[in-house]
Amino acid sequence: MNLLHTQGLKVYFRHKEKTVKALDGVDIFLAKGITTALAGESGCGKTTLARTILRFQEPCSGKIYFQGKDIALNQNLYLVRKNIQIVFQNPFLSLDPRYTVFASLYETLGVFKRMKKRESKFFINQILRDVELNEDVLYRYPHQLSGGQIQRVCIGRSLINHSALVILDEPTSSLDITTSSKIIRLLERLQQDKAITFLFISHNLKLIKRISQFCFIMYYGKIVEAGPTDLVYNKPLHPYTKLLKEASLLQLKSLPDSEIPEAGCAFLPRCSQRRAECKKGVIKKEAEAGHFAFCNLYK
């Protein structure tokens, strides 16, 4: 049973004459209790997908089902707010600088359950223990904490109301290596303890291999490959995944958006193994169970 799945999700941004297809028919599914990863270079629509799931962005078309319910309906907005939380990339901007850690956590805790400060102490201390923070950070302001500490607070905040799904939008990319590995370890532990579903967004395939069980590779608004992370990492099907794995994006000339072809494979201009039929469209190729790619290479 999937906790969340999307059907043909499309989000277009119109700027004067140009239309940017941030999401162009995205179908993803998040299985309950595991970490699913979403990978791709910056600008490919990962964050837009997260924002759409959180209903910060209305889709042009397509549906999102959470626990079998269509979350585009206003009556299900409560469900989204109660069960889906997000941890952002930049920890320093994720907490209101005017609020102490306690005030931020207390505010979140009080959204669904009215609670006195004294009662809330118990829950807040518990969540602090969960994210391995000392109690003395409680009455500090964000600027008095390190990035790693704030990110822990943010993770704690996302868990405090027992959300079912937490979206981690590059939670470690603005932290240094030691801190980010500690955060990754914390996330792994939290998942084992609490059986939360994570959607881990990252551009780093190695990181994804370590933390996730299933992954989607995204390229300019489209899913190009998906499958169990081990398979995707060890036997990548799509040329883009291979590039990502080698992290040799720097060697490629980066493309302006306008060069993305209107029809056919979006990766075409960069692809070294392009064929004539790629201009028309791509086919879905399933290699092993659950591991598939949208590419014409494996006809």
Partner 1 sequence: MRSKLGISALVGLGLLYLSVIFAPFFSPYPYDEDDVLNSYCPPTRIHWVDVKDRKITPYIYGRTVTVDKYYRRIYREDKTKSYRIKFFTRGFKYKILGLWEFERHLFGAEEGKVFLLGADLKGRDIFSRILYGGRISLSIGLIGASISFFIGLLVGGASGYFGGRVDNLLMRLCEMVMMVPSFYLMLALRASFPPNLSSSQVYLLIVVILSFIGWASTARIIRGMAISLRENEFIYAAKAAGLGHFKIIVRHILPHTFSYALVAIVLSIPSYILGEAALSLLGLGIQEPQASWGNLLSSAMGIVNIRLYPWILTPGLFILVTVVCFNVIGETLRDFLDPKRKIL
Residue 85 engages partner 1 in binding (rule: CB under 8 A): yes
Residue 140 engages partner 1 in binding (rule: CB under 8 A): no
Q: Which of 257, 270, 211 is nearest to 44 (CA)?
A: 257
d(CA 123, CA 110): 11
Applying CB under 8 A, the span of 154-162, 187-195, 203-211, 218-226 interacting with partner 1 comes to 154-162
Residue 82 engages partner 1 in binding (rule: CB under 8 A): yes
Closest to partner 1 by CB, 56 or 122: 56
Q: How far is the CB of 40 from partner 1 (least distance, A)?
A: 20
**Beta carbons of 222 and 294 less than 8 angstroms apart:** yes
Question: Cα separations (Å) of 275 from 226, 236, 252, 278?
Answer: 22, 19, 19, 5
Applying CB under 8 A, the span of 14-22, 82-90, 194-202, 240-248 interacting with partner 1 comes to 82-90
d(CA 106, CA 53): 25
Question: Cα separations (Å) of 58 from 16, 55, 63, 170?
Answer: 19, 6, 10, 22
Q: How far is the CB of 161 from partner 1 (least distance, A)?
A: 7
Q: How far is the CB of 285 from partner 1 (least distance, A)?
A: 36
Closest to partner 1 by CB, 159 or 224: 159
Applying CB under 8 A, the span of 29-37, 88-96, 194-202, 219-227 interacting with partner 1 comes to 88-96
Q: Which of 72, 83, 74 is nearest to 32 (CA)?
A: 83
User: Applying CB under 8 A, which of residues 70, 96, 176, 277 lies at the interface with partner 1?
Assistant: 96
Residue 155 engages partner 1 in binding (rule: CB under 8 A): no
Residue 107 engages partner 1 in binding (rule: CB under 8 A): yes
Residue 95 engages partner 1 in binding (rule: CB under 8 A): yes
Applying CB under 8 A, the span of 26-34, 81-89, 177-185, 247-255 interacting with partner 1 comes to 81-89
Q: How many residues bind partner 1 (CB under 8 A)?
A: 23
Q: 186 CB contacts (<8 Å, ≥6 apart)? A: 131, 132, 152, 155
Closest to partner 1 by CB, 82 or 242: 82
User: Applying CB under 8 A, which of residues 84, 175, 208, 266 lies at the interface with partner 1?
Assistant: 84
Residue 161 engages partner 1 in binding (rule: CB under 8 A): yes
d(CA 179, CA 148): 6
**Beta carbons of 81 and 161 less than 8 angstroms apart:** no
Mark residues 26-55: x for contact with partner 1 by CB under 8 A, - for none: ----------------------------x-
Q: How far is the CB of 194 from partner 1 (least distance, A)?
A: 18
Query: Given the rule CB under 8 A, which residues bind partner 1?
Result: 54, 56, 78, 81-82, 84-86, 88, 90, 93-98, 107-108, 111-112, 154, 157, 161
